[in-house]
With several copies, the nearest count.
Chain A
Amino acid sequence: MSNYTKDYSMPELMAVTVAREIRDGELAFIGVGMPLMAATVAKFTHAPNFNMMVEYGAVGPAPLRLQMCVNCAVNNERAYFAGSQREVMGAQQSGFVDVACISGAQIDKYGNLNSTCIGDYHHPKVRLAGSGGANDLASSASRTVIMMRQDGRNFVNQVDYLTSPGHLGGPGERAKAGLVGGGPAAVVTTMGVYRFDDETREMYLEKIHPGVDLEKLKAAVQWDLAISPDLVLTELPTEEQVMVMRTLDPLAVYLGTGRQTLSGDFEAFMKMFEDSYQPMVQLMRSKGMM
């Protein structure tokens, strides 16, 4: 089954790597963008009984088209449940979410994330979106998988604003703060895959992406990064995994330049749905999903 391909982009590699963090039968809290692509890959390949939970109130959607947003009509498509945010967020605070995918603009060695502001909170250099559901998921999901670009400046000693708790200041601090979830289990970046030491709760490098230079990676981390003695290359995407992503999102809206393509071009947008409809039907049928 593992027909690896070299025909992939970096966002596709990241999405596939995140997908592999999702196990069959699990319930995962998923936003749009890369997490959605990862979830879709998981569902259509190794985790057919995994289900998505979407923040505005959907569980288990099985759509034939690309979601646009966490409150999007598409999330209702053949879902098991559609209703309130309270339902899904209440379930997640109660520990029913096995895995959640979150992100941030900055991260520290304990996996604490900032998605609120760069610079001083009251006079920000860059104002960002704020927590959204990220703080909630970081607080209460059984485990989180963090995805982010690694740009050389955002693996920091201290985040400018701690939006979403990782392991806070180290061992035992989550429990002391009253947090019920397990915290971050993995960080998937444009350079590699990181996990957290069971004892110190500090991040270490587990896998490095093909073609990434280890020294450059280390230079892109402000602290003295621990490296796994068993450091391996990140597993490549399979042909099927890449096919799934390109079938659902042929214009690479989430993993490429689709948004630039579509801005103002209504005909291209309508065509995207028309073109992807039959391939998606065939994909769903081939997987016994419809």
Chain B
Amino acid sequence: MRFQPIPIQEGIAKPPAYKIMTAKEAITKFVQEDCYLGMTVSAAPASLIWEMVRQRDRIKTLDLVITSQIGMSSVLIGSGLVRKLEMGYNWGGIEGEDKVFRRAVEKGIPRPLEVEEYSNYGAAMRWLAASMNLDSIGTKSQLGSDIVKYNPKIKVIDDPYTGSPVSMVPASRPDVAIIHAARADEIGNVQCLGLYGNTDTLARAAKHVIVSVEEIITSAEIRRMPNLTTIPYYYVDAIVHSPFGAHWRESTYYYHHDLPYGLDVYRQFATQEGYEAWADKYVHGTKDWNEYCQLVGYDRLNRLRLSENKYQKFGEVR
């Protein structure tokens, strides 16, 4: 008898079944209209975002919840998919001012964007609460600020033990989380290598979890160092194999941030027409992530990989 993965059943814990599918399959299966979508940006799940934009006519509307986003949310907002953004921060980071976000909030282009705002830690605590099945949790952030004033979902209460003020935030339980990570086995044990931000709690907070990875590894490799498993299989619905799947952003131990590309994209995003031209070419103009990578150029991607590995490679000090 071989251990055979069994079919996906109904239930909260996802079974240890074969979960590898394409981005198209995963997005089609799990992301529906009005989906409450959680995402993080460490690393950026670009291949999954591109696929949602390709399917925007079907998906129509997303309510997006993030902690902080740097760059990647622009691609979703610019596509017109996002109705609401629950966030701590949304900007371009090193790529600069996020004109897509500004257009949406200031002018409702391409559609009005409702913003529900927390501090980064306040936003992060919402997933921590959900990851433990709590309905809310407290933080010492946000107190005394206008974040509390303009977001009625934050409640400042007195701690029941000490009477000290604490700002409560409600749990966030996304319908679907999209995540990019380093490695996973075929049943969905995921290892994030390097900094992973709130990826662990997001995966535990969401009802369905799609993870794109740089590498598919064996379960034996997972079992070799179980301390490195960031997201155990029972949280995970789908594993999508997307090498270079965070481009234009970085993936620790795999490749470096493609800053010249990111800066150029942000230059184009200065206008909605520029956004559409970029999306037409790089997203709608490619049928999948592999075609996108071909358009960017595997030679270029490979040089980003070599550059990263000159400085760091998993398991070594360089």
Partners in one complex: yes
Contacting residues, chain A, for B88 (C-beta < 8 A): 130-133
Q: Are A94 and B12 in contact (CB under 8 A)?
A: yes
Q: Are A165 and B144 in contact (CB under 8 A)?
A: yes
Restricting to B172-221, which residues have a CB under 8 Å from any CB of A?
A: 189, 193-201, 204, 219
Closest CB of chain B to A172's CB: distance in Å? 12
Closest CB of chain B to A105's CB: distance in Å? 12
Q: Are A179 and B16 in contact (CB under 8 A)?
A: no
Q: Interface-forming stretch among A2-10, A66-74, A147-155, A188-196?
A: A66-74
B53 beta carbon closer than 8 Å to chain A: no
Bound Cα distance A28, B63 (Å): 34
Q: Are B195 and A269 in contact (CB under 8 A)?
A: no
Per the CB 8 Å criterion, the residue count for chain A at the interface is 95
Closest CB of chain A to B202's CB: distance in Å? 11
Q: Are A85 and B312 in contact (CB under 8 A)?
A: no
Closest to B105 in A: A127
Take A25-B15, A135-B145, A289-B3 as given contacts and tell me if A79 and B133 are in contact as well, using a CB distance cutoff of 8 Å.
no
Closest CB of chain B to A109's CB: distance in Å? 16
Q: How large is the interface on B (under 10, 10 to 19, 20 to 34, 35 or more residues)?
A: 35 or more
Bound Cα distance A120, B2 (Å): 53
Contacting residues, chain A, for B87 (C-beta < 8 A): 130
Contact digits for B303-318, partner A, Cβ 8 Å, 1 yes 0 no: 1000110111000010
Contacting residues, chain B, for A171 (C-beta < 8 A): none
Contacting residues, chain A, for B98 (C-beta < 8 A): 129
Closest CB of chain B to A63's CB: distance in Å? 7
Closest to A54 in B: B195
Contact partner, B124, options A54, A86, A135, Cβ 8 Å? A86
Contacting residues, chain A, for B119 (C-beta < 8 A): 131-136, 139
Q: Interface-forming stretch among A156-164, A216-224, A227-235?
A: A156-164
Take A25-B16, A85-B198, A270-B307 as given contacts and tell me if A49 and B141 are in contact as well, using a CB distance cutoff of 8 Å.
no
Number of A-B contacts (CB under 8 A): 317
Closest CB of chain A to B156's CB: distance in Å? 8
Q: Are A73 and B251 in contact (CB under 8 A)?
A: yes
A95 beta carbon closer than 8 Å to chain B: yes
Bound Cα distance A140, B120 (Å): 13
Closest CB of chain B to A37's CB: distance in Å? 13
Contacting residues, chain B, for A75 (C-beta < 8 A): 194-195
A58 beta carbon closer than 8 Å to chain B: yes
Contacting residues, chain B, for A83 (C-beta < 8 A): 195-196, 226-227, 229
Closest CB of chain A to B38's CB: distance in Å? 14
Contact partner, B141, options A26, A77, A93, Cβ 8 Å? A93
Contacting residues, chain A, for B256 (C-beta < 8 A): 68, 73, 273
Q: Interface-forming stretch among B29-37, B260-268, B271-279, B283-291?
A: B260-268
Take A68-B259, A75-B195 as given contacts and tell me if A132 and B89 are in contact as well, using a CB distance cutoff of 8 Å.
yes
Bound Cα distance A131, B233 (Å): 28
Contact digits for A77-90, partner B, Cβ 8 Å, 1 yes 0 no: 11111111111011
Name 16 A/B residue pairs within 8 A (Cβ), A-sorted: A24-B6, A49-B5, A58-B226, A71-B43, A75-B194, A84-B196, A84-B198, A85-B197, A95-B12, A97-B13, A129-B90, A131-B118, A136-B119, A139-B143, A161-B146, A179-B144
Which 3 pairs of residues, A with B, have the shortest CB-CB distance? A178-B165, A177-B144, A132-B89
- Extra 19 A-B pairs, beta carbons < 8 Å, given A131-B120, A259-B263: A27-B13, A49-B17, A55-B68, A58-B226, A68-B256, A68-B259, A73-B194, A73-B256, A75-B195, A84-B201, A85-B121, A124-B106, A130-B87, A136-B120, A162-B146, A165-B143, A168-B144, A178-B165, A273-B256
